């Protein structure tokens, strides 16, 4: 009887999707709700929680370290967008040219950095941006007569190192995204444009860019998310969550510091909820502006 | 024609320069893995090719020394294999449910899949941490594997792939009297094979390099994965550079070899989300 029920065509789909529903409820819905609840409480691991209303949020608004972490994450996100969308797009268009020599090799070589873990990549970059005269970047600067820079001690120079790491790891990946988008643009469009006497630049702005829009939106969406949620890059570059004057502290870094290092779970949960709200608002606005929610005709 | 050749040369030069910059850190770490750690501490990571200080000592230490590197290495390997196999099977099953049937609540559930792809996992770290603690699952691999077992991006990719498979296969299976599950296991799974390769590589790469969540869950150093182990070599009280550098170099190798061998699948897997998202 039970077997008959489970094997019927009406019940089978639910059996197939059941694992997702279970995981979704246990590991997404429940933690999200509990996080939301925790953000209104004072919680320490292994102790009775205590309701404190909006206290955590009020404290957050006046917490200068938290505001600094938001500033850092926002700046990082904006700068990664500025670097990691236009340049990979341009490189993808150039590499897509079938007559170019060695394109397969370049595609692979650009992708290599994405194969390394952030732990390994971060360690390499921390050493490259070391403050000694002989460290890689400083020795290059030395050739131009520039004094050694203490990269990881300053806000601006620290960000240079962070962005170098991000650019190194993600350029190749974004190139691949744009290449897969370019594959969907019919060759005839360019041929027709050539007959009409369009220049290469006109073809790029009038054909390539508009038709790459879905890919650009995808890359934009995941980059906003990844930028705002960045943590391990900073953790590895500064060899810990404590950078001088918090120059490398990000929102998730602050969440980690409050929640795990200080066992202040309620406060950390409030940080998480703010991050969720900011990510969702920015991404939904961005998607609305780019017309993603309009019905396709 | 001449104009094209000139343009090509300019392009290749530009790309070669970028390529050189991208490969530079790899060269630096490779070089450093042949030098003693002291050298690195005293002079920093550099590109000096100085054969008088270079030796295979670090590699000898890596393979014969008294340390836990290969325990971490095999932990990572085991965790990656188990995680990939389970995630692929579960995600493929779920994707088939979405692709092959029309049922009540299907759209809402699929929106949940898309939603997961947009919520930063980092927000869940703390509640997941307390949940794991309360369930007594701290320091276990299941706490690392379970939350990711129905991977949203993987489900999404499989569903897209399955929508290209003719429904007649399912119909003919029913005519032959196979059960719904028999159809999936015997007729559909074999057809899905090509898509498994791309997803195996994407998930494998993520799992091999996964750091934050395992770092929070695992406290027993015998259970550490490679990234966690390497991270513990960096301490505020002086770093174990001999092992760290050669170990980092060696940790890139497996993925590197896989990449060279299965390049096409890597690229398919990486761009899976962008295909008509």
Distance CA(B39)–CA(A223), nearest Å, equals 38
Question: Is pLDDT at A297 greater than 70 in this prediction?
Answer: no
Indicate the pLDDT class of residue B238, thresholds 50, 70 and 90.
Answer: low
Please name which of A57, A58, A54, A114 lies closest in space to residue A84, comparing C-alpha atoms.
A114
Structure token digits, residue A220: 């934009």
Indicate the pLDDT class of residue B144, thresholds 50, 70 and 90.
Answer: very high
Q: What share of chain B is helix, strand, coil (3-state, %, to 5)?
A: 75, 0, 25
Distance CA(A270)–CA(A265), nearest Å, equals 9
Residues of B in contact with A91 (CB under 8 A): 15, 18
Distance CA(A260)–CA(A186), nearest Å, equals 52
Indicate the pLDDT class of residue B258, thresholds 50, 70 and 90.
Answer: confident
- Residue-level length of chain B: 277
* Nearest CB partner across the interface for B109, out of A21, A35, A228: A21
Indicate the pLDDT class of residue B117, thresholds 50, 70 and 90.
Answer: confident
Instruction: Name the packing angle between helices A103-111 and A155-182 (round to 10°).
Output: 140
Name the β-bridge partners of A129. none
Distance CA(B117)–CA(A108), nearest Å, equals 27
Identify the structural domains of chain B with CATH numbers, from first to last: 2-63 (no CATH), 67-274 (1.10.3720.10)
Indicate the pLDDT class of residue B274, thresholds 50, 70 and 90.
Answer: low
Interface test mutation site (partner B, options A123, A126, A283, max chain B beta carbons within 10 A): A123
Question: Is pLDDT at A96 greater than 70 in this prediction?
Answer: yes
* Nearest CB partner across the interface for B28, out of A94, A128, A228: A128
Burial (CB count within 10 angstroms: exposed 0-12, middle 13-18, buried 19+), residue B89 = middle
- Looking at every residue in chain B, the average pLDDT score rounds to 87
Identify the structural domains of chain A with CATH numbers, from first to last: 55-289 (1.10.3720.10)
Burial state string for B221-233 with b = 16 or more CB within 10 A and e = fewer than 16: eebbbbbbbbbeb
Interface test mutation site (partner A, options B43, B127, B159, B271, max chain A beta carbons within 10 A): B127
Count chain A–chain B contacts defined by CB atoms under 8 A: 266
Distance CA(B152)–CA(B111), nearest Å, equals 11
Residue percentage of chain B with pLDDT more than 70: 94
CA angle A245–A251–A256, rounded 5-degree value: 90
Q: What is the pLDDT of residue A294?
A: 60
Distance CA(A88)–CA(A222), nearest Å, equals 15
Residue A156 C-beta-side C-alpha neighbours within 13 Å: 1
Indicate the pLDDT class of residue B2, thresholds 50, 70 and 90.
Answer: low
Residue percentage of chain A with pLDDT more than 70: 98
Q: For chain B, say whether A232 makes contact (Cβ under 8 Å).
A: yes
Find out whether B97 and A13 touch, Cβ atoms under 8 Å: yes
A9 to chain B: closest CA residue = B180
What pLDDT, in 10s, does the model give residues B41-87?
A: 888 888 888 888 888 988 998 998 888 999 999 999 999 999 999 99
Q: For chain B, say whether A290 makes contact (Cβ under 8 Å).
A: no
Structure token digits, residue B21: 């910059």
What pLDDT, in 10s, does the model give residues A50-90?
A: 898 899 999 999 999 999 999 999 999 999 999 999 999 99
Question: Is pLDDT at B273 greater than 60 in this prediction?
Answer: no
A278's CB contacts (< 8 A; 6+ apart) are A70, A228
Q: What is the mean pLDDT of residues A272-283?
A: 91
Question: Is pLDDT at B228 greater than 70 in this prediction?
Answer: yes
Q: Determine phi and psi for A41, rounding to 5 degrees.
A: -130, 165
Please tell me what DSSP assigns to residue A42: E
């Amino acid at each position: 009887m039970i077997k008959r029920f489970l094997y019927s065509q009406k019940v089978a789909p639910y059996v197939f999707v059941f694992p997702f529903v279970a995981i979704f409820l246990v590991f997404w819905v429940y933690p999200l709700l509990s996080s939301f609840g925790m953000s209104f409480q004072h919680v320490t691991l292994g102790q009775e929680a205590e309701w404190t209303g909006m206290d955590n949020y009020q404290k957050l608004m006046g917490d200068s370290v938290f505001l600094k972490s938001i500033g850092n994450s926002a700046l990082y996100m904006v700068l990664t967008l500025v670097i990691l969308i236009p340049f990979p797009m341009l490189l993808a268009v150039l590499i897509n040219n079938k007559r170019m020599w060695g394109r397969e090799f370049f595609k692979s070589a650009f992708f290599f950095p994405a194969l390394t873990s952030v732990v390994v990549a971060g360690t390499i970059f921390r050493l490259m941006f070391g403050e000694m005269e002989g460290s890689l970047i400083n020795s290059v600067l030395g050739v131009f007569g520039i004094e050694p820079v203490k990269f990881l001690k300053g806000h601006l120079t620290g960000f240079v190192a962070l962005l170098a790491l991000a650019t190194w790891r993600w350029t190749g990946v974004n190139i691949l995204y744009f290449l897969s988008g370019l594959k969907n643009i019919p060759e005839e469009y360019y041929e027709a444009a050539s007959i009409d006497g369009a220049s290469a630049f006109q073809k790029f702005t009038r054909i390539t860019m508009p038709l790459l829009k879905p890919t650009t939106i995808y890359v934009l969406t995941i980059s906003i998310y990844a930028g705002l949620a960045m943590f391990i890059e900073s953790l590895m570059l500064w060899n810990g969550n404590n950078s001088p004057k918090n120059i490398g502290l990000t929102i998730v870094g602050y969440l980690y510091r409050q929640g795990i290092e200080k066992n202040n779970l309620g406060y950390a949960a409030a940080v998480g909820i703010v991050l969720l709200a900011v990510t969702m608002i920015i991404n939904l606005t961005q998607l609305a502006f780019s017309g993603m929610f309009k019905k396709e005709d | 024609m001449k104009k094209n050749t000139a343009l090509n040369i300019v392009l290749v030069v530009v790309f070669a320069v970028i390529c050189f910059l991208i490969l530079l850190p790899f060269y630096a770490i490779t070089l450093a893995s042949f030098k003693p750690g002291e050298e690195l501490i005293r002079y920093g990571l550099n590109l000096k090719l100085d054969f008088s200080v270079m030796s295979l000592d670090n590699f000898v230490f890596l393979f014969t020394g008294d340390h836990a590197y290969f325990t971490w290495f095999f932990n990572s390997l085991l965790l990656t294999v188990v995680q990939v196999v389970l995630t692929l099977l579960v995600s493929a099953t779920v994707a088939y449910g979405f692709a092959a049937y029309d049922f009540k609540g299907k759209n809402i559930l699929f929106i949940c899949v898309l939603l997961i792809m947009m919520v930063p996992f980092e927000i869940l770290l703390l509640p997941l941490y307390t949940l794991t603690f309360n369930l007594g699952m701290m320091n276990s691999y299941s706490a690392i594997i379970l939350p990711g077992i129905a991977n949203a991006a993987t489900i999404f990719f499989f569903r897209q792939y399955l929508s290209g498979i003719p429904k007649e296969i399912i119909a003919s299976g029913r005519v032959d009297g196979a059960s719904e599950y028999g159809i999936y296991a015997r007729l559909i799974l074999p057809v899905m094979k090509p898509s498994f390769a791309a997803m195996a590589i994407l998930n494998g790469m993520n799992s091999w390099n996964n750091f934050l969540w395992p770092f929070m869950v695992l406290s027993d150093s015998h259970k550490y994965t490679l990234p966690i182990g390497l991270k513990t070599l960096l301490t505020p009280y002086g770093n174990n550079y001999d092992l760290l550098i050669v170990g980092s170099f060696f940790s890139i190798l497996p993925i590197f070899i896989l990449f060279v061998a299965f390049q096409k699948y890597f690229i398919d897997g990486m761009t899976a989300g962008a295909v008509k998202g």
